[in-house]
Amino acid sequence: MDIKIIAQTIIYGIFSGSIYSLVAVGLQWIFGITKIINIAHGPLVVIGSFLTFWAFSLCHLDPFVAILPVTLVLLLLGLVVYCVIFYPLKNLIGHERVHLSLLLAFGLMIILQNGARLLWSADERALTTALTGASLEFIGVRLPYARLAGLAVALLVIICVHLLLTKTYFGKSVRALIDNPQAARLVGVNINLVHLFSFGIGIALAGSAGTLIAITTSFSPFGGMVWTLKGLIVVVLAGMGNIRGVFLAGLVLGVVEAIGAIVGLGAYREIFGLITFVLVLMFKPEGLFVRGGRAA
């Protein structure tokens, strides 16, 4: 196979991996703080894609500009969802909280999928913008401007999440809550408020990922579960609680799937990602990007 084709395929895998990482960081954030397994995360990502579609087709707003209002709308939606659906779990701890949140998220997923179908129909949609089809050629490899911008946005968002966690008072409250919930409560941390806004931020990150998906690929109301699975795989590869490792883990998954396409199994490239997922669980269950059993 031509070396340029191999390089082109791996580059596209890196671009796809950056979106996987942005989907995963929202899942990582929500579960790490609230202990809610939000399997409805993928459908919420798709809602972000459709809101971007509306902003572009109805308001003629460039998708890279629309990412800000879409993220804000998903933040507000996340706050509402938490108050209505997950707040009653506030007094539960351990496996009971995890299991009930999983059931509630499953119901939410069904509601979101069918609600999206009613609003936007079951058809696949795609955006055609000024950047669609435009690319930069470097040593014989095409670098689409839209995907380059998407890679930059994904990296920027994950850096902002890391800074929020490590450099702000809210982040200090979050870290105190994760380390010792009882001690955090004693020193004045409002656990319910931290959970509320943490869930909202996680859903806002889903909106950002949805915008990048709308820019780079097609989407439909029933495609959300695929994104949930991608996100969960990346979380496992990165290691639970490892925000910085999520970006690298997303790139790993994207490149592994690209290798599947290179060896002639493009239609089954997801299998390569699942095999990597199983191997990591078997031989390095703490994640690829952790040191000494703790998040890097």
Query: What is d(CA 204, CA 78) in angstroms, rounded to the nearest whole number?
Result: 7
Question: How many domains does the structure of the chain reveal?
Answer: 1
Which residues constitute the domain of residue 244? 3-290
User: Is this prediction's pTM over 0.85?
Assistant: yes
Tokens of 110: 């069904």
Residue 108 has a pLDDT of: 95
Residue at 295 is within a domain: no
pLDDT tens, the chain, 296 aa long: 678 888 888 999 999 999 999 999 999 999 889 888 899 999 999 999 999 999 999 988 999 999 999 999 999 999 999 999 999 888 877 788 888 999 999 999 999 999 999 999 988 998 888 777 788 888 878 888 989 999 999 999 999 999 999 999 999 999 999 888 888 888 888 999 999 999 999 999 999 999 999 998 899 999 999 999 999 999 999 887 777 789 999 999 999 988 888 876 666 778 888 888 899 988 888 888 776 545 43
d(CA 46, CA 30): 18
Backbone dihedral region for residue 143 (phi beyond 0: left; psi -120 to 50: alpha; all else: beta): beta
What is the predicted pLDDT for the residue at 270?
A: 80
CATH code, 196? 1.10.3470
The phi and psi torsions of 216 (rounded to 5 degrees) equal: -110, -15
- Whether 185 and 98 have beta carbons less than 8 Å apart is answered as no
